Amino acid sequence: MTESETAASKLFDRDAQGFDDLRRRLIPCFDDFYGTALKIISDWRTVPGLDVLDIGAGTGLFSAMVSERFPVRRLCLLDCSSGMLEQARARFAGNSQVEIRLADMSDADLGGPWDLVISALAIHHLPDDAKRDLYRRIRYALKPGGLFVNAEQVAGPNPVADQRYSRIWLEQIRALGVSELEIDKARERMSHDRCAPVEHQLRWLADAGFADVDCSFKAWRFAVLSGRA
């Protein structure tokens, strides 16, 4: 883990309490964003029981959505923030099908093979070379025909678009009632972001060997990317 990634992990440890409630207000397109990711899974699912890996799982919010809607046989949540994973442990307490792993996604053994690999708002913390390497490792951790869904924060195609994304995001979250204190904390966490444009990431997924690569949803800085093994 780089120095920047370590610093980011500490910030997520600090802000873990109540993070799920805040996330809904920090993602103005929350329902469509996660809803699209879930629709991609429902459109693809062809097996009666899913083995699922959640990379950068945080509090387990996305994993919980998947578990509520699909027949999950085995679920592994991987994250480098112990504070976030404490929230995940509480969420899945008593569920013997769930494994919680404290690990750095940049070099963790992803295990598998998995039917489904998911990630939400996590991979953008990695440098681009590490993103590309992770996409390759995810591809080889999936079963043939398996699916990868990444609900992600992305960069604009140019600096002007990036500035527009930032300005509109601030307007939207202030309208949703996010306090200036929480905005300052969010900006501190985001100072460690290393977002990449959608078109770059689709190319990296294809280069990693994924088929049916697509961006099914995009609203300013939030996008849902996917590919099949």
pLDDT at 12 over 80: no
DSSP assigned state of 155? B
The CATH T-level fold of domain 3-228 is Rossmann fold (3.40.50)
DSSP assigned state of 197? B
pLDDT at 2 over 70: no
The half-sphere exposure of 105 on its side-chain side, counting CA atoms within 13 A, is 33
Please give the full DSSP string across 9-48, using - where no structure is assigned.
Answer: HHHHHHT-TTHHHHHHHH-TTHHHHHHHHHHHHHHH--SS
Q: Which whole number is the average pLDDT over 31-40?
A: 97
Confidence band for 5, pLDDT divided at 50, 70 and 90: low
pLDDT at 15 over 80: no
The half-sphere exposure of 227 on its side-chain side, counting CA atoms within 13 A, is 19
pLDDT tens-digit series, residues 57-86: 999 999 999 999 999 999 999 999 999 899
Domain borders along the chain are 3-228
**Whole-structure pTM value:** 0.92
Asked whether the bond before 113 is cis by omega within 30 degrees of 0, the reply is: yes
